[in-house]
Amino acid sequence: ELVYRLVEGDLKTFLQQRYGSVFPKIISGFLLTTLVFMVVFTMSLGYFRPAQPPKIKMLPLVNFLNQDQHDQWRYLTLGFGDQMAWLSAQTNALTVDGNYHSARRLPELTSRAIERLENSKFKGVEGIGSLQQFLTVPEKYNLKYIFSNDKFYDPILYFCGWQRLQQLENGIMVWEKANVPPLANILPKEDVSLPLKLMWGIIPFLTVIIAFLLNIQPIWFRALKTDKYKESIYESFPEAYQHFSARLSHTNQIWAILILMITGYGVYHFYLDQRAQYSPENVLSAYYDALDFKEFEQAHTYIDPESGVSLAQYMLEISVNDGLLSSYAKLDSLGIRLEKQTSDKAYAEVATQWITPLEKIKKVNQHEVVKRDGKWYLIPSLPENDLPPNQLFSDNATQFYNQGRRRITTQQTYHEDVLEQPVLEVLTAKLVKFQDQYAIIGEIQNLDDVPADVVIKASLYNEADEELASYNAKFEMKHKLLPKETTPFKIYFEGVAWSGNDDTSPETFNPDEFTALTLKDIPVKFNLQCSGNVAIRDLYRGLVLQQVQIAEDQVEGMLFNSGIQEVTIPQILVSYYDQAGELIWVDHQFLNNGVRVQRKQAFAYSPKDLKELEILDSDMERIFINGMPNHEISAKYLPNRTKMDSVRSLQEFSGPGYRYLRIDLNPFTAKSF
């Protein structure tokens, strides 16, 4: 109506009589220009801020799923965007994920507004929480393969026990989980009748078509001037736009001036707030914003030009930094507090919170900013001067390679091509209760001469031997073990978050969010099903522990990378022992920064208070290794094991509820090939 009255109605006449014949054309041109600008801006927004990943070539993925019976397991895509539906349409393999329109049946998806697992990192705790449960217990869903198009998910995949299988020619990394059973030959399916299928496919489209035809019919009749056309009743009473109210015009003018003043005031303050170097707070906020979006050239413009740090030097310092914080983190919140400020210098404390796929990182940094030529600049911190002694290094390592199927055939793998499962032994295992949560802790060793990919499934039982819960080991263990290597493990029993009607999800993202499982009875027994498969990757053990110092409430030390691979994310596994040298608890900590080759990285760990820890069961009769009882393996392979050998390797630390500590290292290297 506004456009009609402005182009050929009373509003046009009113404006011409009051301001001249050119003014309505200016207003019309302004509205048309604004409309065209909004259309062009909306159409080109995806180019400047892409909402979808670049186009992915699907043929390598389809070929991978169709070969070697890979379609007998389910798969999952990560970082594919809407293209995950196009992949699903080209293969008969099944996926645990679904598109927007597909119905949800799994409680891990129905209890959360997750939409799709492939973009779970954009859904905060709901997305990462759902993805973690699929990655930790993949055999529940027959999930064996993951196609990753986003390195953000690499740490959580590795520390959940997945291994990189290969990188396809289109750049997609294929991750694999061992010991996952294939799908059943006959899958349950709720079929519906043929009429309902036809109605579901025809009625929605037919409704739109009929509505379109009914609305377009009068226009065609008027245009063709057919005899069948009969005017509608509302057309007999046309609205006459002949006089525009002068009072309404004055009101609109006052309103327009008021809106322009408010808009101008808001734009001015928005400009001051967004002006990068207007104040110390602005330059610090702009600097961290540029770091968050990896705009390093823009971040360098906020560095003090008199500091002597050129763009090439700054980019080089950034490129050599790796780790959980620098490579896999997104800025969640930023707080700036000025401690001291003069006319040309200021000291500020910056508190940041970073979101990673593994945990939330909180950091507090001290910064100095200076004012030069009316602009504020950041004084850069000094780079690390940890230089290795030599330029060239060599390393001798035993490597492993699995031929797979030696005979090219479409039949099942021949018996002689099937590798024997590595022999494992559970040294100790206990059911404990700590902070109102049940957990199973223990130690497992690879007794074989080949590396092992270890999967541990734990189950809880009541007095009547009824299963209460089951879950797999996640972060608190080394999933890949070298020959004769030992690792502690801890298994929490995690439930499905917000599955109740009265449960509400948190407003902010917290990767450490844990939902304890609600048990219908008190667990008194446990069962462990441990399985091992031959591992050939992720076996780097060049990270070693040095200079451990124990204070009253903290353990400090250095991690030294003695090998020739860069450690992206170091993980510390801390085992707690009592006075008798018995394991009572296992904890872990991820370090924020990586460790470069032949360099070191400091760490600090605060031990826990275990006064409330309660050991419920330590019976190891219900532990099985590759289907065999654990006590038979112990009696056969290492019957004369003495506990004093392990006690000598412990570190004394008299803490609340424990006597000894042991620290194990689990490094993640981003480059595995």
The pLDDT assigned to 499 comes to 43
Lowest mean pLDDT: which of 406-420, 445-459, 463-477, 485-499?
Answer: 406-420
Return all residues near 669 (Cβ < 8 A) that are at least 6 apart.
Answer: 538, 540, 565, 566, 567, 568
For residue 515, give both structure tokens.
Answer: 């939902």
Percent of the chain with pLDDT over 90: 35
Separation of alpha carbons 208 and 587, rounded Å: 59
275-378: which CATH topology?
Nuclear Transport Factor 2; Chain: A, (3.10.450)
Split at pLDDT 50, 70, 90, the class of 206 is very high
SS3 track for 345-371: EEEEEEEEEEECCCCEEEEEEEEEEEE
The pLDDT assigned to 75 comes to 93
Distances, alpha carbon 422 to alpha carbons 451, 455, 623, 625, in Å:
8, 12, 16, 10
* DSSP string for residues in 621-653: TTEEETTEEHHHHHHHH-TT--THHHHTTSEEE
- The beta-strand segments (E) located in 551-599 are 555-561, 569-577, 583-590
Q: Tell which residue, 379, 299, 282, 292, has the closest CA to residue 338.
A: 282
Question: Would the CA dihedral through 348, 351, 354, 359 be positive or negative?
Answer: positive
Separation of alpha carbons 500 and 342, rounded Å: 55
10 Å Cβ neighbour count for 311? 12
Go through the chain and tell me how many residues it has. Answer: 673
Inform me whether the pLDDT recorded for 510 exceeds 80: no
The domain ranges of the chain are: 59-176, 275-378, 419-668
Question: Would the CA dihedral through 290, 119, 359, 588 be positive or negative?
Answer: negative
Report yes or no: 486 and 503 within 8 Å, Cβ to Cβ. no
Lowest mean pLDDT: which of 47-51, 440-444, 485-489?
Answer: 47-51
Indicate the DSSP class of residue 254. Answer: H
| pLDDT tens per residue across span 82-115 | 888 899 889 989 888 877 666 566 666 666 556 6
The pLDDT assigned to 418 comes to 79
Split at pLDDT 50, 70, 90, the class of 156 is very high
Split at pLDDT 50, 70, 90, the class of 425 is very high
The pLDDT assigned to 472 comes to 92
Report yes or no: 128 and 120 within 8 Å, Cβ to Cβ. yes
Instruction: Find where tokens 């207007």 sit.
Output: 278
Separation of alpha carbons 296 and 73, rounded Å: 42
* DSSP string for residues in 372-403: ETTEEEEPPPPPP----S-S------------
Separation of alpha carbons 485 and 147, rounded Å: 30
More confident residue, 304 or 409: 304
pTM of the model: 0.83
Angle between helices 22-48 and 10-19 (to 10 degrees): 120
Strand order in 555-561's β-sheet? 543-550, 555-561, 600-605
Return all residues near 369 (Cβ < 8 A) that are at least 6 apart.
Answer: 280, 283, 284, 345, 346, 347, 348, 376, 377, 378, 379
* DSSP string for residues in 51-92: SSPPP---HHHHHHHHSTTGGGSEEEEES-TTHHHHHHHT-S
More confident residue, 237 or 55: 55
The pLDDT assigned to 395 comes to 85
More confident residue, 470 or 247: 470
Report yes or no: 534 and 515 within 8 Å, Cβ to Cβ. no
Distances, alpha carbon 594 to alpha carbons 83, 116, 559, 569, 673, in Å:
33, 31, 10, 5, 18
Report yes or no: 535 and 517 within 8 Å, Cβ to Cβ. no
Q: Tell which residue, 353, 360, 348, has the closest CA to residue 334.
A: 353
Question: Would the CA dihedral through 292, 298, 304, 308 be positive or negative?
Answer: positive
Mean pLDDT of the region 545-572:
90
Return all residues near 232 (Cβ < 8 A) that are at least 6 apart.
Answer: 218
Report yes or no: 125 and 100 within 8 Å, Cβ to Cβ. no
Mean pLDDT of the region 9-15:
76
More confident residue, 520 or 472: 472
The pLDDT assigned to 501 comes to 46
Residue type, 399: Q
Inform me whether the pLDDT recorded for 127 exceeds 60: yes
Inform me whether the pLDDT recorded for 496 exceeds 80: no
Instruction: Find where tokens 């602009």 sit.
Output: 375
Inform me whether the pLDDT recorded for 498 exceeds 50: no
| pLDDT tens per residue across span 569-605 | 999 999 999 888 899 999 999 999 999 898 999 999 9
Q: Tell which residue, 136, 152, 155, has the closest CA to residue 591.
A: 155
The pLDDT assigned to 106 comes to 64
Mean pLDDT of the region 322-327:
87
Separation of alpha carbons 380 and 354, rounded Å: 21
The pLDDT assigned to 62 comes to 94
Inform me whether the pLDDT recorded for 25 exceeds 80: yes
Separation of alpha carbons 525 and 460, rounded Å: 6
Question: Would the CA dihedral through 406, 411, 416, 417 be positive or negative?
Answer: positive
Pair type for strands 163-167 and 173-176 = antiparallel
Separation of alpha carbons 13 and 7, rounded Å: 9
More confident residue, 76 or 389: 76
Question: SS3 for 11?
Answer: helix
Helix (H) or strand (E) holding 296: helix 296-300
The pLDDT assigned to 124 comes to 62
Lowest mean pLDDT: which of 98-102, 270-274, 284-288?
Answer: 98-102
| pLDDT tens per residue across span 332-386 | 889 999 888 888 899 999 999 888 888 888 899 999 999 988 889 999 887 777 7
10 Å Cβ neighbour count for 201? 10
Inform me whether the pLDDT recorded for 164 exceeds 50: yes
The pLDDT assigned to 271 comes to 79
The pLDDT assigned to 509 comes to 45
